[in-house]
Structure 1
Amino acid sequence: MEEKMNNDYKITFIRGATTASGNSVNEIEDAVVELIDELISRNNLTKRNLLSITFTATKDLDACFPASIARRCNGLDSVAFLDCQQMFVSNDVNFCIRIMAQVLLHSNNPVNHPYLRGASKLRPDRC
């Protein structure tokens, strides 16, 4: 059954972050898949509700592009993705992947920003 987008939905931005356990394709993939899965499940999203996701990664992550992994997750090949390097700040969280997702969210649905693994210390109020 096709769900109609109507006035019950609003464009919302959801932030989140996680950390990879290291700088390998497999370690980055594990972190990105978990983060996307949590973004979708915590916010009751469908792939039609995801408009775009911007990823940033700290400079110690260069084995692959997080967006290329997300494109293969959950049938999200039609979502607009962008990868950027996170601004370097000393004492930042290592191996950190941040997201800002633009979504269509049902107006009654509260926003849940997923902060996982080592990134949970960035926003302890959002874990």
Structure 2
Amino acid sequence: MSKTLRGLRGATTAAANTSQAILDATAELLRALQEANAFQPEDVESAIFTSSPDLTAEYPARAARLLGWTDVPLLGTAEVAVPDGLPRCIRLLLHFYTTKPQRELKHMYLRDAAKLRPDRGGPRRAPRAGKRGIPGSIARTCTTSRAMRPAS
């Protein structure tokens, strides 16, 4: 079976704004994703790491290098300072080759980041959009403009 390029998401939080705390949290996330999705560093095409504005002591991507991901292109960037954003948060978008379909991938949200996606890692289920929509979501208020609707 041939491998397809897939996207895999994850997030975690560092215990503090220290190099060691950032590296520990990021390494834990990378190991969890690798174990849950059965891939090797050579399967990884690229990885994008983001960190909340309060994390300045270390690049989260350095944890991947320390784990031996020496040939993987890595990018780190700072997130926008959003009011009420999750503090000390590290997010990851990983592109890798796998034989698994997208729906079988196991995205990981660890530590305090579990509250970002309770449907992905906690015992609680995320609310589903319906007549009332997801609380706090803009999805229920957005409409497609005529210019964007397909021609009849």
Structure 2 unmatched runs, 5+: 122-152
Shift of 1:67: 1.1
Residue identity in the other structure for 1:62 = T
Residues 1:33 and 2:27 aligned together: yes
Aligned residues: 120
Shift of 1:48: 1.2
Residue identity in the other structure for 2:82 = V
Matched position secondary structure for 1:32: helix
Distance 1:40 1:11 in 2: 15
Find 1:111's aligned residue among 102, 105, 108: 105
Equivalent pair of 2:23/2:62 in contact (CA under 8 Å): no
* TM-score of the two chains, using structure 2 as the length reference: 0.76
Shift of 1:103: 0.4
Distance 1:69 1:38 in 2: 13
Shift of 1:43: 0.6
- The corresponding residue for 2:91 is 98
Which has the larger strand fraction?
1
Equivalent pair of 2:23/2:63 in contact (CA under 8 Å): yes
Shift of 1:39: 1.1
Matched position secondary structure for 1:12: strand
Equivalent pair of 2:6/2:96 in contact (CA under 8 Å): yes
Shift of 1:122: 0.4
% same residue? 35
* TM-score of the two chains, using structure 1 as the length reference: 0.90
The RMSD of aligned alpha carbons is: 1.3
Equivalent pair of 2:55/2:88 in contact (CA under 8 Å): yes
Shift of 1:14: 0.5
Equivalent pair of 1:8/1:107 in contact (CA under 8 Å): no
More deviation in 7-16 or 111-120?
Answer: 7-16
Equivalent pair of 2:52/2:80 in contact (CA under 8 Å): yes
Alignment of 1:1-127 (within 5 A): 8-73=2-67, 75-107=68-100, 110-127=104-121
Residue identity in the other structure for 2:50 = T
Equivalent pair of 1:53/1:99 in contact (CA under 8 Å): yes
- The corresponding residue for 1:4 is none
Matched position secondary structure for 1:90: coil
Residue identity in the other structure for 2:115 = K
Q: 1:21 to 1:77 in 2, by over 3 A?
A: same
